[in-house]
Structure 1
Amino acid sequence: MPLPFKEHPLRHAVTTELHARTFEPIKAPARVSHLAFICGERGSGRNTGHLIRLLQHFGAPVPETVGQYHVADLGNIRLHWERHTEFVTYTFTEPGPFIHPFANPVIERLPAQWLAASPGELVTAVSVALESGDMPERSLAELSALFDHNIIIGAEVVGGLGRAWSDLRIHPDGYARILLRNEKLTEAQAGRMVKRVLELNAYRAMTLLALPMARKVSRTLDMADRRLAILATKMAQQPSRTPGQPMENQLLAELTGLATEIESMAAQTTYRFEASRAYYRVTKQRLEQLRQRRIVGLQTFTEFLDARLAPAVATCESVSSRQRDLAERAARLTALLRARVEVSLQAQNRNLLESMDRRAKLQLRLQETVEGLSVIAIGYYGVGLIGYLLKGLESQGLPVNATLGMGIAMPVVVFSAWFFLRRVKQRLMRSHD
């Protein structure tokens, strides 16, 4: 019956998310094969298709849609499939007694062709054996033989209700090995313990994926740091020049290229480093949830992983911080060089303006000189015209003295020309303003 309320569109999604990483009860004895494949955030279609082909092979029901996880029975094998952000996991559980914990693992009951066609890249593969409390306890020598005489890590888990051993190494069959013993665990507690151990193994592998990248980038950053120091020294020793000189252009080009390389490295590594920190936090959380207690003579999982994961994560954080520092230094040097070029440009522009001002003043003086000459020329031609007029009248017998008339007319004509040019100049100036 639908509720009489308006529901939030994500109400069911957030409730389902609480059960997306659920566990299943396991009855000891049982064996488990666990695979984790990196597929990226866009590999959902290929992985769901691969899962459906496995279900079809065993005749198991095929769901209409596949969410974040799926559980199915493949005959006597129980499949638990989970999709994480960038990897998917397959957990195959087979209940029943066994003689050797890691001989003939569960994975061998799956079709080889399907295994070979698995999408993505395998990041971890582990065989887990869960012994029951009534099975004979193994001595330290027997445990060492199960792990090819490697150094064993072990602890009592779930407050002493179970035990766990491993060497966290890849064995000749290609799988890591984890041996669990159920002392007094319920089936639900045993299921939680197996799931936490498997998640711990997957997350510690995902945490360390960033370490090889950090080491590689660190060498590149060393070279970038030296190049940046050389460029800074050149900038300090090189005096400010006229903008556009080859030296400053070369420095700016090298700085820009170096800053681009550093930003490119950061873009390639930032996601991996951030993911490593997130996986490390989840790994520590799973270690705490195991509630370990020391087995005399053995190193606990927390001690072993802390001694190895913590330095790796610290290295990634150091490289990430160094990338940011180099990017900031390159940006500051570029800004300083641009500022120096800009100051030089401003000085050049100031000199250019001063030169233009001097030229304008000189042009004004020349113009005033030409203006005076123009008054003289206009006066000369004006007096000449008046002289022609007076001489014409004088030739007709009129009582006119042409020479005297020209003398009297000269100051009037010159003043009139000067006054006319001045008025024209004033009018032009007012029009310009």
Structure 2
Amino acid sequence: MRLLPADLPERAALAMEIHARPPEPLLAPGRASYIAVLVDADERERELAHLGRLCRQHAQLGPGADAVHWSGTLGTLRLKWERHGEFSSYTLLMPSAGPVPFAETAAGELPSGWLAGVPGLTVYAGHAELLSPAEGQELGDLLRQSFGDRTVVGSALGDGAGLVYSDFLIHADGFGRLLMIDQGFTPLVAGRMLQRLFEIEAYRMMALLAFPLARRLSPRLLAIERSLASLADSIAAGPTGPTGPAGQAEQGRHARLASSATPVTPVNQPGRARESAKDEQLLQELTRLAAEIESGLAASQFRFAACRAYAELVRTRIDELRERRLTGLQTIDEFMSRRFTPAVATCATVSRRMHDLSERVAQASHLLSTRVDIVREQQNLALLASMDRRAKLQLRLQQTVEGLSIAAIVYYMAGVVGYVAKGGRSLGLKLDVDLFVGLSVPLLALLAFNAVRRARRHASEQDLKEGH
């Protein structure tokens, strides 16, 4: 009988995720090599095939097609492969360290040419030697043999369970070096500390991929900031035409004259057009700056976001080392704070400047768009006022024409009445033609006036119906 509801489809995978990448144990004396390779998505299959060939050479079952980590024994080597978001890592471990530090390495035990054939670009590569105090070498001799005359950084790890030294430089073979001395590590703790140290370097390099991008963007951002400041000054200065102080008085005069029946020529229309064209040009320049900034944001924000994420991982791994200071040496935490943290801060500053510029350009564009809209509304108002004046003039002209039309209609109708009167007189009627025509004129005028008014009323009613 089932005791629980049906499982979430991803339950088992999520539960095992916390156990997915356990550290490999390392017993002193021992040595290790670590390689982090930046791998494109289209090279993932080649990477698996390359690793699979190595596994088959040692009769090992390689990783599956969907695997993101694998570990196995290849002769004297213990190989651990992990696929991260952007890069893959190879950790090689083997027992016993040579008599001379870093004279022999774990990576040197791989088949010739296999490591060089790994797909991708090397981000970080490092060798590590884990020694025990029983080997009896003087610390000064060990450091000189390992790092020469370079400045060494070192600290006690795990609250004093071991010591670590490094110069954080790339040596002639292309690898960095970590020298660890066991003072009470268990094999699992030693492996965990070594993994953290390697990951600090890998994540540090991945975070710093954004630094060259930040340096390339900085001069362009400075130029955009200057252009934006110049455009903002132009916007703040305001137009010298109708939207300036003197122009506002003209606009008030325009509004008063708009209601007047007297024909008025629009005031300062050429100046208004020039200011509108200037604002349009400023708006186009702001749009160009906005497009340039958004293009830069789209091209850089993934890298800057990754920088923040990797930098946080570096900080977490350093905290997990639980360092103690060694006399006369910088700790890893201090070393990173003095050299790595400023580079991350530079990337964060450039990213923040880009976002701030985007917001400032958007605000300036909004202000200028508002002003352009106001100028257009003012131009539309002036146009409507001019159209209103023309309509009133047309109405007056129409009324004048109607008066003349009535006179013409009366004249022609009086002529018709005169012809009728003359015809009646020819028939023998005793009519005074002139008197008869003269008396008919007022009646004809009244009839013509009523006819014109009725036609005007009918046209108005038709306009109202069409308007609805």
TM-score, structure 1 normalization: 0.94
Query: What letter matches 2:291 in structure 1?
Result: T
Query: What letter matches 1:124 in structure 2?
Result: Y
Corresponding residue for residue 204 of structure 2: 204
CA distance in 2 between counterparts of 1:61 and 1:224 reads 56
Corresponding residue for residue 213 of structure 1: 213
CA distance in 1 between counterparts of 2:64 and 2:101 reads 37
Q: How far did 1:76 drift?
A: 1.4
Query: What letter matches 2:272 in structure 1?
Result: T
CA distance in 1 between counterparts of 2:137 and 2:324 reads 18
What are the superposed Cα offsets for residues 147-177 of structure 1, whole Å, 9 maximum, x if unpaired? 1221111111112111111111001111000
Q: How far did 1:254 drift?
A: 2.0
1:74-93 matches, cutoff 5 A: 74-93=74-93
CA distance in 2 between counterparts of 1:87 and 1:376 reads 99
Q: How far did 1:352 drift?
A: 0.8
CA distance in 2 between counterparts of 1:415 and 1:5 reads 99
The answer to whether the aligner puts 1:291 opposite 2:322 as a matched pair is yes
Is the 1:144–1:152 contact (alpha carbons within 8 Å) kept by the matching residues of 2?
A: no
Corresponding residue for residue 111 of structure 1: 111
Q: How far did 1:112 drift?
A: 4.1
Corresponding residue for residue 346 of structure 1: 377
CA distance in 1 between counterparts of 2:43 and 2:277 reads 50
Deviates more, 1:125-134 or 1:362-371: 125-134
Corresponding residue for residue 330 of structure 1: 361
CA distance in 2 between counterparts of 1:224 and 1:42 reads 36
CA distance in 2 between counterparts of 1:135 and 1:359 reads 108
The answer to whether the aligner puts 1:271 opposite 2:302 as a matched pair is yes
The answer to whether the aligner puts 1:101 opposite 2:101 as a matched pair is yes
Root-mean-square deviation (CA, aligned residues, Å) is: 2.1
SS at the partner of 1:155?
strand
CA distance in 2 between counterparts of 1:132 and 1:26 reads 12
Is the 1:243–1:344 contact (alpha carbons within 8 Å) kept by the matching residues of 2?
A: no
Counterparts in 2 of 1:303 and 1:231: CA distance versus 1, 3 Å: same
SS at the partner of 1:114?
coil
Corresponding residue for residue 392 of structure 1: 423
Corresponding residue for residue 17 of structure 2: 17
Query: What letter matches 2:34 in structure 1?
Result: H
Query: What letter matches 1:101 in structure 2?
Result: P
1:209-288 matches, cutoff 5 A: 209-237=209-237, 239-240=239-240, 242-243=272-273, 246-288=277-319
What are the superposed Cα offsets for residues 245-301 of structure 1, whole Å, 9 maximum, x if unpaired? 553343222221122112222222222222112111111111111111122222111
Counterparts in 2 of 1:242 and 1:12: CA distance versus 1, 3 Å: farther
CA distance in 2 between counterparts of 1:208 and 1:387 reads 110
CA distance in 2 between counterparts of 1:64 and 1:3 reads 33
Query: What letter matches 2:450 in structure 1?
Result: F
Deviates more, 1:44-53 or 1:125-134: 44-53
Corresponding residue for residue 417 of structure 1: 448
Deviates more, 1:346-355 or 1:20-29: 20-29
SS at the partner of 1:16?
helix
CA distance in 2 between counterparts of 1:25 and 1:183 reads 16
CA distance in 1 between counterparts of 2:28 and 2:412 reads 130
CA distance in 2 between counterparts of 1:393 and 1:161 reads 144
Counterparts in 2 of 1:62 and 1:155: CA distance versus 1, 3 Å: same
- Percent sequence identity is 41
Q: How far did 1:321 drift?
A: 1.6
Is the 1:242–1:345 contact (alpha carbons within 8 Å) kept by the matching residues of 2?
A: no
The answer to whether the aligner puts 1:377 opposite 2:408 as a matched pair is yes
1:136-215 matches, cutoff 5 A: 136-215=136-215
Deviates more, 1:36-45 or 1:378-387: 36-45
CA distance in 1 between counterparts of 2:192 and 2:184 reads 14
Q: How far did 1:196 drift?
A: 1.2
Is the 1:133–1:184 contact (alpha carbons within 8 Å) kept by the matching residues of 2?
A: no
Q: How far did 1:90 drift?
A: 0.7
Is the 1:31–1:101 contact (alpha carbons within 8 Å) kept by the matching residues of 2?
A: no
Is the 1:154–1:298 contact (alpha carbons within 8 Å) kept by the matching residues of 2?
A: yes
Is the 2:39–2:87 contact (alpha carbons within 8 Å) kept by the matching residues of 1?
A: yes
The answer to whether the aligner puts 1:49 opposite 2:29 as a matched pair is no
Of 319, 336, 340 in structure 1, the residue corresponding to residue 350 of structure 2 is 319
Query: What letter matches 2:156 in structure 1?
Result: E
SS at the partner of 1:115?
coil
Q: How far did 1:43 drift?
A: 5.0
Query: What letter matches 2:417 in structure 1?
Result: I
Corresponding residue for residue 245 of structure 2: none
Q: How far did 1:38 drift?
A: 1.6
Is the 2:70–2:81 contact (alpha carbons within 8 Å) kept by the matching residues of 1?
A: yes
Query: What letter matches 1:414 in structure 2?
Result: A
SS at the partner of 1:116?
coil
Q: How far did 1:77 drift?
A: 1.0
CA distance in 1 between counterparts of 2:197 and 2:163 reads 11
The answer to whether the aligner puts 1:356 opposite 2:384 as a matched pair is no
Q: How far did 1:312 drift?
A: 1.5
Paired residues, what number?
433
Contiguous gaps of at least 5 residues in structure 2? 241-270
Is the 2:100–2:145 contact (alpha carbons within 8 Å) kept by the matching residues of 1?
A: no
Contiguous gaps of at least 5 residues in structure 1? none
Counterparts in 2 of 1:333 and 1:185: CA distance versus 1, 3 Å: same
What are the superposed Cα offsets for residues 44-81 of structure 1, whole Å, 9 maximum, x if unpaired? 43433332233234332134434221112222111111
Counterparts in 2 of 1:413 and 1:124: CA distance versus 1, 3 Å: same
CA distance in 1 between counterparts of 2:135 and 2:51 reads 35
CA distance in 2 between counterparts of 1:213 and 1:359 reads 63
Q: How far did 1:304 drift?
A: 1.0
